[in-house]
Amino acid sequence: MTNYAARRHRGLSKEILEIGWKAQIRLCQRYRSMRARGKHHNVVVTAIAREMACFLWAIAQRVSLPNQAALAS
């Protein structure tokens, strides 16, 4: 793992890293297959963005944010 990747992964749970890797693999494969079928670039990018939002939602369900009152001060 490069230093950059190590710094980005520092402090993240194993579960979140696994979701991220699963997203990386799935979205890359989906992009390639849709482009190979001749789908328009904008259609492909929109489909990938929608699916990426679902992965982000899954991560957000597992991460607890600091208390909102602490953020305000």
| Domains: count for the chain | 1
**Cα angle: 55, vertex 52, 3; to 5 degrees:** 80
- Residue 70: inside a domain, yes or no? no
The model carries a pTM of 0.69
- Residue 40: inside a domain, yes or no? yes
Model confidence pLDDT, tens digit, residues 31-54: 999 999 999 999 999 999 999 999
Range of the domain at 36: 13-59
- If we measure between CA atoms, which residue out of 10, 13, 9, 6 comes closest to residue 58? 13
- Residue 38: inside a domain, yes or no? yes
- Residue 33: inside a domain, yes or no? yes
- Residue 31: inside a domain, yes or no? yes
Neighbours of 59 (CB within 10 A): 16
Model confidence pLDDT, tens digit, residues 14-23: 888 888 899 9
- If we measure between CA atoms, which residue out of 12, 49, 19 comes closest to residue 34? 49
Residue 59 pLDDT > 90, yes or no?
Answer: no
